[in-house]
Amino acid sequence: MIRYFTAGESHGPALSTIVEGMPAGVALTETNINDQLARRQQGYGRGGRMKIEKDRAEMLSGVRFGKTIGSPVAMLIRNRDWENWTVPMAQFDDNAAEVQKITIPRPGHADLTGFVKYGFDDIRPVIDRSSARETAARVAAGSLARAFLRQLGIQIGSYISTIGPISESAAPVSLSELLDAGAESLAAEADKSPVRMIDTATSDAAIAAIDQAKADGDTLGGIVELYITGVPMGLGSYVQHDRRLDSELAAAIMSIQAIKGVEIGPAFDNARKPGSQVHDELFAGGEEGLRRESNRAGGIEGSMSSGQPIHIRAAMKPISSLVSPLRSFDLATLEAVQSRFERSDTCAVPAAGIVAEAVVAPVIANALLEKIGGDHMAEIAERLEAYRDALRMRFGG
C-alpha cells in the first residue's frame, strides 16, 4: 500500500515528504517531480510568494539509478522565503517574547479553530501548517504514483471550468478527443491558458474577473474538472465502506485546502433528472469486451471503476485572506476589529487542479495494487495485461 506523510511549515526551512510502499522498478527522473511542482506554481491570480519560491525536490532516499528500489522515498523542498522568517519561525530561540503574537483570526481560515484546538496563544503556528504551501509536498509525493500509473497506461489530467462568475457553458468540444489521447493531453491543453481553461474566450473572461477581484481587494474560487484515463474495470469494492473507490477519491480531493465540495461525474445535475436519463446503457464489444455510449456515472459504478474515464468535479471556495477585510475580533482583548491580511493569492483554482491530480494518484495506484498485487514493475505490468486480456476474453472482446 502506498501512503505518504508530509511535514513542514509554510515559512519554515523546508517541506518534506516520505512515500512508503512504492513498488520497485518505477522509472523516475527529476523532471517527473519538478515539472509537477512548477505546474503547481503557475496560474493567473497567484500572490507574491510564487515570485520567491522556485520549488525543486531533493531526493534523499528510495531511488537508485533512476528507479525506485522498494524502500521509503524521502524528498525535501526548501523554502526560499525561510531567510525572511528565521526569527518568527525559529525552532529553538530565546527571543520568542520579542516576536509579536498574531491574535486576530481571519474568517474562513483555520485560524480560530486551530488556535482553540491546540491551546495556542498565537495564531502563527496554525497559519503556517494549515497553509496550502503544504500541497507542494503532496504534489511531489503524488508525482511518484503518477509515474507508476503512467508506465501502466493510466493518465491523470485536469482543467478548470469555472472561476468566480465565469463558467464554460458546456464541456469543451475537444474534450472527447483529448481524453482518447489520454488525460495528460487534456492537462497539456489546459496548461496553455494562464487560468487552465480550454476555451479561449472563457479564459479571457476569467482573467478579467480575477483582475477585477484583485482591484476590489477580493478573491475568487472555482471548479476543477479532473479526469483519469486508462483505468481498468473493477478497481475498488462495494463490500466495505472503506474500500469504495469513489469515497476514497472524494476523501483525497476534500483533503485539499479550500476544497468544499466534490462530485463524481455530473452528480448534482443527475440528481435533477429521472433515472432513464442518467444511467449509462451497456453494450457488448469495446476495448475490454463491453462499452457504454455515455459516461454520466463519471467512470464509477457501484463504487468500482467502470473502465471509462473517471471524472471528478471539485469546488474550491474563494481564498479566505482578503485585502478588504471582514469583521473579526482580537482573541487577546475580545474587542471587535477588522480581520488582518496575510500575503495570499487572489485566485488559486488553476493550482488546485494540479494538486487534485497529485492526490488522486496514490488512490488509483493503491486500488490497482489491491486488485492485481505485485512488488516490482515488471511483475505488476504482466499481471495488469493478463487482467485486461481476461476481461476481453470474458466478454468476447
Residue 83 has pLDDT above 60, yes or no: yes
Looking at residue 173, its pLDDT comes to 79
The owner of cell 531567510 is 83
Per-residue pLDDT band at 54 (split at 50, 70, 90): confident
How many residues are given for the chain?
Answer: 397
pLDDT digits over 353-365, tens only? Answer: 999 999 999 999 9
Phi-psi region of 38 (alpha: psi -120 to 50; beta: other; left: phi over 0): alpha
What percentage of residues in the chain have a pLDDT greater than 90? 83
Average pLDDT for 275-288: 86
Of 49-58, 329-338, 347-356, where does mean pLDDT reach its minimum? 49-58
Residues 123 and 120: their CA atoms lie apart, in Å, by 7
Per-residue pLDDT band at 288 (split at 50, 70, 90): low
Looking at residue 86, its pLDDT comes to 86
Per-residue pLDDT band at 395 (split at 50, 70, 90): confident
Per-residue pLDDT band at 341 (split at 50, 70, 90): confident
Looking at residue 48, its pLDDT comes to 61
Nearest to 157 by CA among 263, 309, 346: 309
Residue 98 has pLDDT above 90, yes or no: no
Most confident of 69-78, 98-107, 340-349: 69-78
Average pLDDT for 50-77: 92
Residues 5 and 16: their CA atoms lie apart, in Å, by 8
Residue 44 has pLDDT above 60, yes or no: yes
Looking at residue 24, its pLDDT comes to 99
Containing 274, the helix (H) or strand (E) segment is none
The owner of cell 458546456 is 170
Looking at residue 53, its pLDDT comes to 67
Residue 324 has pLDDT above 90, yes or no: no
Average pLDDT for 243-263: 98
Cβ atoms within 10 Å of 228's Cβ, excluding its own: 25
Residue 167 has pLDDT above 90, yes or no: yes
Cβ atoms within 10 Å of 219's Cβ, excluding its own: 25
Residue 351 has pLDDT above 70, yes or no: yes
Residue 139 has pLDDT above 70, yes or no: yes
Binding residues for NADP(+): 40, 46
Nearest to 243 by CA among 392, 363, 87: 363
Domains and CATH numbers, the chain: 3-394 (3.60.150.10)
DSSP 219: -
Looking at residue 50, its pLDDT comes to 59
Per-residue pLDDT band at 311 (split at 50, 70, 90): very high
Looking at residue 323, its pLDDT comes to 87
Average pLDDT for 225-233: 97
What percentage of residues in the chain have a pLDDT greater than 70? 97
Average pLDDT for 303-329: 95
Which comes out higher in pLDDT, residue 368 or 100? 368
Per-residue pLDDT band at 28 (split at 50, 70, 90): very high
* Exposure b/e, 132-146, CB count within 10 A at least 16 = b: bbbbbbbbbbbbbbb
Task: Give the mean pLDDT of the chain.
Answer: 94
Phi-psi region of 298 (alpha: psi -120 to 50; beta: other; left: phi over 0): left
pLDDT digits over 99-110, tens only? Answer: 899 999 999 999
Reported pTM: 0.95
Average pLDDT for 66-86: 95
Binding residues: 40, 46, 129-131, 257-258, 302, 317-321, 343
Of 9-18, 70-79, 166-175, where does mean pLDDT reach its minimum? 166-175
Binding residues for FMN: 129-131, 257-258, 302, 317-321, 343
Residue 397 has pLDDT above 60, yes or no: no
Average pLDDT for 80-98: 84
DSSP alpha helices (H): ranges in the chain?
A: 30-41, 49-52, 111-117, 124-130, 135-150, 175-180, 183-190, 200-215, 245-254, 267-270, 349-372, 377-394
